[in-house]
Amino acid sequence: MSAGSPPLACAGPRAAARGRAWRTWRNAGLAMLGAWLLLAAWTPPEDAAWSVCLFRRVTHVECPTCGMTRALSLLAHGRPAASLAKHPLAAPLAAEAALLWLLAPLALVRGWRPPRAWLRAWAVAHGAALLIVWGARLVA
């Protein structure tokens, strides 16, 4: 390094932001792997008294996301049919999370971010799907 060149730690705000983005991507992958391994090693109880869902514990009625943890655990145990019966959105959600994580490096390399309108539409679609599942459960 020459006398007039800046140290590597001062590579600039863009490089620092890119480094943080890659660390976030790595940590998200490690968190997903850890969650998957935990779900594969643990079977959540069926009893509402042991539920992590306060709504279910108090009302004994499942909320829109109730059954998702149990369904993901069944999926991690290699039982997709049982997972689908517990919550039909667990497998698509897991696949979507994995796909987004796998595609994120393309966005990081190109510096692309999805438009806010896409993110809003994505969130509304997920919320609507959960409410449809909940409505179907309440009717059944």
Q: Which whole number is the average pLDDT over 72-93?
A: 95
Least confident segment among 42-46, 78-82, 127-131, 134-138 = 42-46
d(CA 114, CA 127): 19
Instruction: State yes or no: pLDDT of 23 exceeds 90.
Output: yes
Dump pLDDT digits (tens) for 34-59. 999 999 998 888 887 777 888 888 88
pTM exceeds 0.95 for this model: no
Q: Which whole number is the average pLDDT over 81-100?
A: 95
* C-alpha distance from residue 71 to each of 30, 55, 104, 117, 131 (Å): 21, 18, 26, 30, 17
Instruction: Spell out the residues 6+ positions from residue 107 whose beta carbon is closer than 8 angstroms to its own.
Output: 113, 114
d(CA 33, CA 107): 21
